[in-house]
Homo-oligomer: A and B are copies of this chain.
């Protein structure tokens, strides 16, 4: 009886251990996502938090069985946020929901104040006469709407990237833009702006969409409007950032590896869940899941890049350091919504392989694309340098710019089922390309 009981207890134990192991395995992606957002938090490029994230990443990748896990530091010119405040002072007092843009000029502690000149579009600002904004604060509006492929971010994102420098050349003392985002919450969207050599940096902030709506209504009423703007953050040279890499070595280590990228840094307003802890979770879980039927032929290397948000410095550092040949590169950096489309740059040059990839994804409802590939900021430099094959697994971006670069980029925004769909799609692709013995030409 005792033996029987013991055997039964043992079998329960074995079963439950197996189930637990399976659960743990199934949770690799969620655990990385939850860990980075809840144990590390925001991971601003060059910050102490980003450094903690690298230690966390090395520990986690090693525990997951990656080898050659390394932190590879590089210097950056960073941006350290200060106090972000803005208010309408006319026609009525109203506190705006504002964020500084990265590389904004620093205002005095008491801020600056000026008359507002409203521009409905970036083109309207470009058409403003030289000197016409002397001492004023330019407000730049725009009309970005949601799209599945996120294609609005290219053109409308120029309001953030180039608007402040254009306003500066017209004499503006400061600039405020409508956030480059598609939500309707009082959460502004940050992101970097650029002041090219020779253009005087000026204070530059973004207000939330409801705040921008209010400014547009006041502008429409013709009433004079004034804004007070306090952005005490500082552009800071000589900060240290870094990449973390790790390998799942293939059965033929002499073959060039498959590089899969994401970025470890995040903006500081949220906890960088969809941008881009989710990406690191997806690529890492998929690299492991692809080994389930047996070790792949090729090494899969994960690159958790640093300092993507403020200039793509991690990807450049990786390409400079890792001149050894690579076979193919992919990146996940567009949130955690479902993959809906696949693109490659070898539909014709390597039709058989490309078709196998598309056919493996087709049962999941993932359609073939026909557009150019994008790669991703962190793998682009090595793709360009080595002329690599690329597979893009395009995620649904309909709601991505509701959250991107906002305080709302937090863990609760990720649907575990959608995250798992990403891991499944990625693992199918990695299994195929990781077992491809021949050259994968783009």
Contact = CB atoms under 8 A, between A and B. Distances in A.
Contact of A38 (B217, B271, B412): B217
Interface stretch (A105-113, A182-190, A393-401): A182-190
Contacts of A92: 39-41, 49, 52
Contacts of A218: 38
Contact of A186 (B34, B52, B94, B407): B407
A213 B408 contact: no
Nearest to A402: B185
A185 B408 contact: yes
A260 interface: no
A184 B412 contact: yes
Given A410-B186, A412-B209, A217 B41 contact: no
B42 A408 contact: no
A176 B52 CA distance: 27
B34 A217 contact: yes
A140 interface: no
B40 A186 contact: no
Interface in A392-442: 406-408, 410-413
A40 to B, nearest CB: 7
Given A41-B93, A49-B93, A210-B410, 19 more contacts: A38-B218, A39-B91, A39-B92, A40-B92, A41-B94, A52-B92, A184-B413, A185-B187, A186-B187, A186-B269, A186-B270, A186-B406, A186-B407, A186-B408, A209-B412, A210-B408, A210-B412, A213-B411, A214-B271
Interface of A: 34, 37-42, 49, 52, 91-94, 97, 184-187, 209-210, 213-214, 217-218, 269-271, 406-408, 410-413
A94 B42 contact: yes
27 contacts: A34-B217, A38-B214, A38-B217, A38-B218, A39-B92, A40-B92, A41-B92, A49-B92, A49-B93, A94-B271, A184-B408, A184-B412, A185-B185, A185-B187, A185-B408, A186-B187, A186-B269, A186-B407, A186-B408, A209-B412, A210-B410, A210-B411, A210-B412, A213-B410, A213-B412, A214-B410, A214-B411
A39 B223 CA distance: 10
A127 to B, nearest CB: 27
Number of this chain's copies in the complex: 2
A88 to B, nearest CB: 8
Nearest to A34: B217
A336 to B, nearest CB: 14
A39 B184 CA distance: 20
Nearest to A184: B412
Nearest to A91: B39
A381 to B, nearest CB: 31
Nearest to A48: B93
Contacts of A210: 408, 410-412
A80 to B, nearest CB: 14
A154 to B, nearest CB: 25
Contacts of A42: 94
Contacts of A185: 185, 187, 408
Nearest to A220: B38
A412 to B, nearest CB: 5
